[in-house]
Amino acid sequence: MINWIEKQRYIIDFTISSLLRRKVKNFGLLALYTLIVFMLASTMFFTYSIKKEAALILKGAPEIVVQKIVAGQHDLLPVSYIDTIKKIRGVAAVESRLWGYYYDSLVSANYTLLTPFTDDDSTDNTQSSAKKTVVESGSGNQQLDDTSKPLFELGDAVLEPGTLIIGNGIARLRNIGKGDYMPFRAFDGNVMNFNIAGTLSSQSELVSSDLMLITEEGFRKLFGIDKNYVTDVTVAVSNPSEVEMAASKIRKRLSEARPIARDEILRTYDSIFNWRGGMMIVIFSAAVLAFVIFAWDKASGLSAGEKREIGILKAVGWETSDVIQMKFWEGAKVSLTAFFTGVILAYVHVFFTGSIVFEPALKGWSNLYPNFKLTPFVNLEQLTTLFFLTVVPYTVATIIPIWRAATIDPDSAMRFTGE
In the region spanning residues 153 to 192, those forming contacts with other proteins, defined by CB under 8 A, are 167, 169
Residue of the chain from 33, 37, 62, 355 that contacts other proteins (CB under 8 A) = 62
Residue of the chain from 320, 337, 357, 401 that contacts other proteins (CB under 8 A) = 337
For the residues of 209-239, what is the DSSP string, one character each? TTEEEE-HHHHHHHHT--TTEESEEEEEESS
Q: Does the protein bind other proteins through residue 10 (CB under 8 A)? A: yes
* Alpha-carbon gap, residue 16 to 330, rounded angstroms: 7
Would you say 136 or 295 has its CB closer to other proteins? 136
Its sign, for the CA torsion 60, 63, 68, 72, is positive
Do the strands 91-104 and 163-166 form a parallel or antiparallel pair, or are they unpaired? unpaired
Distance of CA 178 to the CA centre of its chain: 32
With residue 320 as reference, give the H or E element that holds it. Answer: helix 320-351
Q: Which residues contact 1 (CB under 8 A, 6 or more apart)?
A: none
Would you say 167 or 311 has its CB closer to other proteins? 167
Per-residue H/E/C for 188-202: CCCEEEEEEEEEECH
Q: Does the protein bind other proteins through residue 269 (CB under 8 A)? A: yes
User: 66 to 85, contacts with other proteins by CB under 8 A?
Assistant: 67, 69, 72-74
Residue of the chain from 26, 35, 53, 102 that contacts other proteins (CB under 8 A) = 53
User: 132 to 151, contacts with other proteins by CB under 8 A?
Assistant: 134, 140, 143-144, 146-147, 149, 151
Q: Which residues contact 239 (CB under 8 A, 6 or more apart)?
A: 90, 135
* Alpha-carbon gap, residue 360 to 318, rounded angstroms: 53
Minimum Å gap between C-beta 125 and other proteins is 13
Would you say 116 or 162 has its CB closer to other proteins? 116
Residue of the chain from 114, 157, 164, 237 that contacts other proteins (CB under 8 A) = 114
Q: Does the protein bind other proteins through residue 273 (CB under 8 A)? A: yes
Would you say 5 or 191 has its CB closer to other proteins? 5
Q: Does the protein bind other proteins through residue 117 (CB under 8 A)? A: yes
Q: Does the protein bind other proteins through residue 7 (CB under 8 A)? A: no
Number of Cβ within a 10 Å radius of residue 129:
5
Kindly indicate which of the ranges 83-91, 156-164, 179-187, 267-275 contains the residues binding other proteins, using the contact rule CB under 8 A: 267-275
Which of these, 298, 351, 410, lies nearest to 50 by C-alpha position?
351
Minimum Å gap between C-beta 106 and other proteins is 15
Q: Does the protein bind other proteins through residue 338 (CB under 8 A)? A: no
The count of residues interacting with other proteins (CB under 8 A) is 98
Q: How far is CA 54 from CA 48, 204, 369, 377, in A?
A: 10, 12, 17, 12
User: 352 to 391, contacts with other proteins by CB under 8 A?
Assistant: 361-362, 364-370, 375-380, 383
Would you say 26 or 337 has its CB closer to other proteins? 337
Q: Which residues contact 63 (CB under 8 A, 6 or more apart)?
A: 134, 135, 234, 235, 236, 237, 240, 243, 261, 262
Distance of CA 351 to the CA centre of its chain: 12
Would you say 70 or 191 has its CB closer to other proteins? 70
Q: Does the protein bind other proteins through residue 101 (CB under 8 A)? A: yes
Q: How far is CA 122 from CA 20, 71, 79, 93, 200, in A?
A: 74, 31, 13, 9, 23
Minimum Å gap between C-beta 316 and other proteins is 20
* Alpha-carbon gap, residue 96 to 82, rounded angstroms: 8
User: 197 to 216, contacts with other proteins by CB under 8 A?
Assistant: 200-201, 203-211, 213
Binding mask 11-50 for other proteins (x = CB under 8 A): -xx--xx--------------------------------x
Would you say 53 or 242 has its CB closer to other proteins? 53
Residue of the chain from 29, 260, 288, 357 that contacts other proteins (CB under 8 A) = 260
**Is the CB of residue 176 less than 8 Å from the CB of residue 195?**
no
With residue 326 as reference, give the H or E element that holds it. Answer: helix 320-351
Residue of the chain from 183, 277, 301, 354 that contacts other proteins (CB under 8 A) = 277
Q: Does the protein bind other proteins through residue 284 (CB under 8 A)? A: no
Minimum Å gap between C-beta 409 and other proteins is 30
